[in-house]
Amino acid sequence: MKQLAYSVVLTALAGCAQLPAVTATQATKAPASGEIMNFIIPADALGARDPQLATVLAKAGTLAAQQHQPTTVLVTALASDFPYLNQAIWKGVPSQRAATVTLENLTAGMNQSYSVSIKPAP
């Protein structure tokens, strides 16, 4: 299941027009212990509101909702981007599974990558 999720995310991210090669490499890293998935959001794709990025974010929401246990989706970005990112993620969460997904926002600091990670809820 995890390999399928990585493939879906990498395929979608590979289609983003301004996706730097480094980001694709970072997205293939194994998630930290306990994480279901994580990926870096390319700043230029976010700034351009790339439709493929919105698709990837919705698929992340779908993946979080498909887990057997409750999950937390942690979004790290600038505060001004949270409404867009959160809305795109929630589009992928079926309404009957919304109670099992928690969305948390963390404001990115200087030189910190924008990212999305999915992990089991504490």
Q: Render pLDDT for 60-99 as a digit per residue (tens, 0 to 9).
A: 999 999 999 999 999 999 999 999 999 999 999 999 999 9
User: For residue 17, what pLDDT is reported?
Assistant: 44
Instruction: Report which residue type is found at 29.
Output: K
Q: 1-33, pLDDT tens digit by residue? A: 444 444 444 444 444 444 443 343 344 455 556
CA distance 102 to 117: 12
Give this prediction's pTM: 0.74
What is the three-class DSSP state of 79? helix
- Find out whether 117 and 35 touch, Cβ atoms under 8 Å: yes
Question: CA-CA distance, 13 to 25, in Å (whole number)?
Answer: 11
What's the alpha-carbon Rg for the chain, to the nearest Å?
A: 13
3-state secondary structure of 71: strand
